[in-house]
Structure 1
Amino acid sequence: MSKVKANDTVQVHYTGKLVSGEIFDSSLEREPLEVQLGQGHLIPGFESALVDMAVAEKKTITIAKAEAYGEVMDELFQKVPKSDLPDTIEPKAGMGLVGSRPDGSQQQFRITEVHEEHIVLDANHPLAGQDLVFDLELIAIK
């Protein structure tokens, strides 16, 4: 029986959960994720868990934050004057925003605090600082 090895293209169904059991993403209601390993498209712990799996194999893994989205980095928080926001936005804690970098690419932010004159934006990945649990089922090796 064939097993997944580095650089294979695989199809996998997954359900991602926080350690508390709260589901944050799942492919079960859509097509399985298809990805080529070794291309940097997956968090390291997810990719390494797929290696040596066989088609139809299922397993549950826990990925430490270091192998997922890393620690929350204080330097990714920034204060922004409310006057820098478009007039159409009423900022609220938890709201997501998208900003443009100097090179034209986009970056996602989350508002963590709203004050009289400024807001605090967080550019950390929303799952940074958390260990993650994934239920995996390998569908195919291509």
Structure 2
Amino acid sequence: MRVSKNSVVTLSFELSDSTGKLLEKSDQPISYLHGGYDGIFPTVEEALEGLAEGGTVAVTLDPDNAFGEYEDELVRAEPRDAFPMDGIEVGMQFQAGAEGSDEDLVFTVTEITAESVVIDGNHPLAGQTLLFKGTVEGIRPATAEELVHGHVHG
């Protein structure tokens, strides 16, 4: 079987930055529903199309095809008293609405002063060119239920 629309693809992968620094490596293979279901970066999905088990890809992802460009307007300083006095630390994350949007974003606390808390709604890899290397570990037809739901089960 080859990777094609409506197949469940299982792959191991490594994600590196443009300098070759390893950012993430799959401890266990991941599975996604192939064919435009948003389970993996579209550029990677295109590269996997037609591969058989054991096939490999190496895809360079520019920011627009990965986590987007870094947006300065997603960084903001909020009044310190809008946060709990105890327990907030740099690196903590929380979900909140973005200004002018109905969408919730994950914000990361990047700085804490006596007067303010600086939060950043950008993905940590926003603005970066990335290298995705993957190996197809398995391919199977998707079940009817997976196709209806648009994602892999089990």
What is the TM-score normalised by the length of structure 2? 0.76
Query: Does the 8 A contact of 1:12 with 1:137 survive in 2?
Result: yes
Deviations 1:82-132 (A, max 9, x none): 11111222443xx1321345xxx9742122343441122111111111111
Question: Displacement, 1:68?
Answer: 0.7
Question: May I ask how many residue pairs the two structures share in their alignment?
Answer: 135
Query: Does the 8 A contact of 1:64 with 1:132 survive in 2?
Result: yes
Instruction: Write out aligned runs for 1:48-67 (5 A).
Output: 48-67=46-65
Query: Does the 8 A contact of 1:98 with 1:106 survive in 2?
Result: no
Query: Does the 8 A contact of 1:96 with 1:108 survive in 2?
Result: no
2:86 maps to 88
Which one-letter code corresponds to 2:10 in the other structure?
A: Q
Provide the C-alpha distance between the structure 2 equivalents of 1:49 and 1:75, rounded to a whole number of angstroms: 33
Q: Structure 2 residue aligned with 1:99, among 95, 103, 106?
A: 95
Deviations 1:53-74 (A, max 9, x none): 2210123221111111111122
Deviations 1:11-66 (A, max 9, x none): 01101111111212111x32x10110221122222222221222101232211111
2:148 maps to none
Query: Does the 8 A contact of 1:81 with 1:119 survive in 2?
Result: yes
1:136 maps to 134
1:33 maps to 30
> Gaps spanning 5+ residues in structure 1: where?
none
RMSD: 2.2
1:15 maps to 14
Provide the C-alpha distance between the structure 2 equivalents of 1:42 and 1:123, rounded to a whole number of angstroms: 21
Which one-letter code corresponds to 2:125 in the other structure?
A: L
Question: Displacement, 1:139?
Answer: 0.9
Query: Does the 8 A contact of 1:43 with 1:69 survive in 2?
Result: no
What is the TM-score normalised by the length of structure 1? 0.82
Provide the C-alpha distance between the structure 2 equivalents of 1:99 and 1:59, rounded to a whole number of angstroms: 34
2:41 maps to 43
